[in-house]
Amino acid sequence: MLLDQLIAQKPLTISEFKELIEQKDPRFQKELQDYAEHITEQIFHKGVYIRALLEISNICENNCYYCGIRKDNQTVKRYKLRPETILSTAHFAYQKGFRTLVMQGGESKAYSAKEMEKIILDLKHQHPDMAITLSLGEFSEETYRLWKNAGADRYLLRHESYNPEHYAKIHPKELSFEHRIDCLNTLKALSYQTGAGFMVGSPFQTTEHLAHDLKFIQEFKPAMIGLGPFIPAPNTPFQHYKAGSTDLTLRLLSLLRIINPYALIPATTALSALSSHGRLEALRVGANVVMPNVSPKEARESYQLYVKKNETTDSLDQLEKELSTIGYHVDYTIGDYQNKI
């Protein structure tokens, strides 16, 4: 019943979402995943978009309790890639066939707004047909506009939790839920293809919180959705908490696909870290993007939000091979969000 409502794109209430998340009947699970797979196939034809992930800096001014590169983690060797390195890595990725560069970094002023503007302008000059995705955290409207005007196309900013009390339990008091959501609204208003998302199984998270996350996604309709299990990171306040469930993550992926059929949803590294088949399973039940890491080796070693295992360091040939085992293939086009609803 509820699944039919979801399929018909009817808005659900929090308690209905809760019921869907808690539904344990294996027949329901199967129906859910089959339907998610079906619509992914209808829209993306078994093609998987690729994004080159470049971790440009791990310098961070924030102290999120879950994150391995939080400011107070003194064991992290901090780095910032030089603009020349960013440009040459982008070129390398372009030659391999990537048409999206994702620049992700700790939240800081390691690069000034002007310096980042110049990097974006240079990247766009180098490859006008390569999309630029930023994942750099919370900034002012003015800065977001500057980067948009320079040519940035997309922005990933996970909302982390759509419940203010839960948000406050996993972040220090300097970080506010309201400001996070303001940033997301600003990004969308500036016409970025905007990405939201959250961790599954972060400490203190309840099904009710997850229901709020799903409802938010249904209303906000992000172009991209980042979803992965929480993985305890050493030297963080949450190092002894248990990891999120891969099963629940996969189930939520299917629900998200049905709620937001055209969304770009990556099979995230966090999922692969917990299960070696995680990536393929995710692609089977609703994900349609993978983000191979193209960061220089030294950077990659110092960019540990959590302990990275089974990271997608493979070549695109290897990826093609892996995808072919389930009848999928790499889609080498730019992979913009098609807003059809």
Give the interface with ligand 5AD as residue ranges (CB under 6 A): 66-67, 158, 160, 199, 228, 230-231, 233, 270, 305-306
Burial bucket for residue 65 (CB in 10 Å: 0-12, 13-18, 19+): middle
Which of residues 177 and 306 has its CB atom nearest to ligand 5AD in the complex?
Answer: 306
**Among residues 116 and 231, whose Cβ is nearest to ligand 5AD?**
231
Cβ closest to ligand 5AD, residue 107 vs residue 117: 107
Closest by CA to 19, choosing from 199, 244, 255, is: 255
For residues 32 and 36, give the distance between their C-alpha atoms in angstroms, rounded to a whole number: 6
Cβ atoms of residues 53 and 102 within 8 Å:
yes
Nearer to ligand 5AD, 12 or 287 (CB): 287
Q: Minimum CB separation from ligand 5AD for residue 238, in Å?
A: 7
End-to-end CA distance of the chain: 22
Of 116, 167, 157, the residue nearest 137 (C-alpha): 157
Cα 177 to Cα 196: distance, rounded to the nearest angstrom: 13
* Minimum distance of ligand 5AD from residue 74's CB (angstroms): 17
Cβ of residue 175: shortest distance to ligand 5AD, in angstroms? 12
Nearer to ligand 5AD, 226 or 261 (CB): 226
Per the CB < 8 A criterion, the answer to whether 102 and 130 are in contact is no
User: How are beta strands 47-50 and 52-57 bridged, if at all?
Assistant: unpaired
The answer to whether 49 and 335 have CB atoms below 8 angstroms apart is: yes
Q: At what angle do helices 14-22 and 207-220 cross, to 10 degrees?
A: 120
**Euclidean distance between CA atoms 253 and 9, whole angstroms:** 16
Give the H/E segment covering residue 102.
strand 100-105
Alpha carbon distance 272, 285 (integer Å): 14
Of residues 283 and 305, the one with the C-beta less far from ligand 5AD? 305
In angstroms, give the least distance from the CB of 233 to ligand 5AD: 4
- Nearest approach, Cβ of 70 to ligand 5AD (angstroms)? 9
CB of 228 to ligand 5AD, least distance (A): 5
Give min distance, CB of 1 to ligand 5AD, in A: 32
Shortest CB 108 distance to ligand 5AD, Å:
14
Question: What CA–CA distance (Å, rounded) separates 323 from 12?
Answer: 34
